[in-house]
Structure formats: structure tokens, C-alpha cells
Amino acid sequence: MKPPSSIDASPYTDATQRSVAQHLGMWTFLATEILFFGGLFACYAIYRHTYPEAFAAGSARMDFWIGTLNTGVLLTSSLFMAFADHAVKLGRRETLRRCLAAVWLLGVIFLGLKFYEYHQKFVEHLVPGAGFHPDGGAAPPEQLFFVLYFAMTGLHALHMMIGLGVITWLFVRASRGTLTADRPAPVEMTGLYWHFVDCVWVFLYPLLYLVR
Amino acid sequence: MNAHPSSPSPKVLTLVFAALLGLLALSAASSRVITGPWGSALGLFLAVVKTTLIFVFFMRLRYQTGLVRLFAVAGFFWLSLIGLLTFADYLTRG
């Protein structure tokens, strides 16, 4: 009888089946994420439908250029994430490390610009609550736009921070050489998550910055 | 050693990225020209096109089995039910 340590505990017949199972699991998680953000998008749709003028007025106070630049920053980070995925499958450790570092840096730039925007909103009295009084007192519906702005971009930024944490972990593993071509799942799955969070922003951009 | 057969080449990825930046420029520019409901509709349409490119190439649905693709669109199916039932209520209130 074989000792327990030699038993192959893998439930998969081959690497392809394992890969499909990993992708199904990740896409199931992403479906729950679509619905998680979906609740906020539905809330946005209801209030925008009810108060169209207030939403246009709120959106006009957004920083168009920072919003546009940040969208470009995220799309570029996604390109490097896709390159990282390519590199791990070729077993190119140094390329993988560089790509992960680029994704991390672009993510930090995005959050830096985002928090600069939050600061600006605070200075301009656009943070919902007792201190909300742009131009010495705007109509309450415009405050709803800013509630949703902070809730939606805040939840998105939280996802970015989690992503940056995971990418840091991947970078350490890549540096130690424990990310190999025969086991690309950690990079692949992190990539799916990162691209998904990018897609959420792709929708936030026209809904928050481009309403006219 | 060749790349994993189920992933796009760096050339394809770069072309998709260029298309995404082009679409971003189009979103930004069109929002300054076309305003009102049509401007919003165009903005959302361009977001859908960008997301489709990201899903198909960056998230590699083009290279996946039908089952994985089905799981990927399932979330949007449920989201469409949220939208449909929500507005079936809000649009028919007296």
C-alpha cells in the first residue's frame, strides 16, 4: 500500500480540464460582482431617470480631464496585465515581473488621481452631508448624484486596492520564481479580476463624467 | 517554446489596446458635441463596445469553451432582469 503522501489528490484528468474549472469558478465569482455593482447601477438609473437635470448639473462639476486620463491609465494597466499573462505562459520571469510592476504602478497612479479628485470635492463642499453646499446651497437632488458618485467610485477604488494587494503578492512570487508556465492560474485569475474592475470603470466614466 | 494556444499574441493585444484608446477618444470627444439623451446613449454604447473588446481579448473569451462563455454572460443576464423589473415598477407608477 502506498503511503498517503504519494496519492495524487488532484480531481482533474488533465491540465485543460483544470483550466476550464478554474475559469468557470472565476467567472462565477465575477457574475456575483456584476450583480454587486449592478445594484448601484440600478440605483443610479432610477435617480437619474427621476432627476435628469440634477444629474447633468452634478456631472458638469466633475473633472472631465482627470476622468478621461484615468480611463486611459486603467486601459493601459489592463494591457500590461494581459502581457503578464502572456509572459507567465512562456516562463519569462523577468518580463512577468516588469509587467506586474507596470500594472501596480498604473493602479497607484489611478488611485492617486482619484483621491486628488476626492480632495477637490471636499474643498468645493461637494461631499454629501451637512457640509454639502456648492454655490451656497444646491437643490437636494444634486446631492444624490454625489452620494452615488462616492459610493460607486469608492466601491471601485476598494476593488482596485484589493487588486493591488494581490498583484504585490504575485510580484513577490514571480521574484521567487514560484510562478511557472505549467501553473499559470494565479496570474490568469488575477488578470480576469483586474480586467473586470477595469470594465466597471469603463461604465462609470460616461455615467459620472460625460452627462451633459 | 510556444505560447499557450488559448491566449492572444502580444500583437493582437496591442491592436486591441489601440482600438480601446481610439474608442476612449471618441467617447470623450462625442460627449462634448452630442448632448442630452442621445449623447448618453452613445456614451453607453461605446462603453459596451470597449467592454466587449476587453472580455473577448484581454479576458480571452474568444479562446474559451462555450461553457465558460455562458458563465461570462450569465451575470449580465441577471443584471438585465434587475433593470427590467426595476423599470417595470418605476415607469408604471402613477
d(CA A131, nearest CA chain B) in Å: 30
Q: What's the rounded mean pLDDT across residues A121-143?
A: 81
CA angle centred on A202, ends B50 and A108, rounded to 5°: 120
B75 → closest Cβ in A31, A191, A195? A31
Under 8 Å between Cβ of A96 and A88: yes
The yes-or-no verdict on residue A2 having pLDDT over 80 is: no
The yes-or-no verdict on residue A8 having pLDDT over 80 is: no
C-alpha distance from residue B65 to each of A183, B5, B52 (Å)? 19, 13, 17
Under 8 Å between Cβ of A205 and B51: no
Provide the residue range defining the domain that includes B91: 65-94
Are B50 and B72 part of one and the same domain?
no
Burial tier of A69 (Cβ tally within 10 Å: 0-12, 13-18, 19+): middle
Which three-class secondary structure state does DSSP give residue B60? coil
Per the model's pLDDT, the better-predicted residue between B80 and B3 turns out to be B80
The verdict on a CB contact (< 8 Å) between A30 and B72 is: yes
The verdict on a CB contact (< 8 Å) between A85 and B1 is: no
The verdict on a CB contact (< 8 Å) between A23 and B68 is: yes
Tens digit of each residue's pLDDT (9 = 90 or more) over B40-94? 999 999 999 999 999 999 999 999 999 999 999 999 999 999 999 999 999 898 6
Tally helices (H) and strands (E) across chain A. 6, 0
B27 → closest Cβ in A20, A50, A206? A206
B83 touches chain A (CB under 8 A): yes
The yes-or-no verdict on residue A133 having pLDDT over 90 is: no
List all residues of chain B from 52 to 81 with a beta carbon under 8 Å from chain A. Answer: 54-55, 57-59, 64-65, 67-68, 71-72, 74-76, 78-79
Q: What is the mean pLDDT of chain A?
A: 92
Residue B25: all three cell numbers together: 477618444
Residues of B in contact with A212 (CB under 8 A): 31-32, 35-36, 39
Overall domain count for chain B: 2
Q: What's the rounded mean pLDDT across residues A40-48?
A: 95
Residue type, A188: E
B2 is a domain residue: no
- Tell me, what's the ipTM? 0.92
Are B19 and B58 part of one and the same domain?
yes
B3 is a domain residue: no
Q: What's the rounded mean pLDDT across residues A148-169?
A: 98
* pLDDT class of A138 with cuts at 50, 70, 90: low
User: In degrees to the nearest 10, what's the CA dihedral of B6, B9, B13, B15?
Assistant: -130
What residue ranges do the domains of chain A occupy?
A: 22-209
Tens digit of each residue's pLDDT (9 = 90 or more) over A163-179? 999 999 999 999 999 99
Q: Which residue has the cell 486603467?
A: A74
Are B92 and B53 part of one and the same domain?
no
B47 is a domain residue: yes
Architecture of the domain defined by A22-209: Up-down Bundle (1.20)
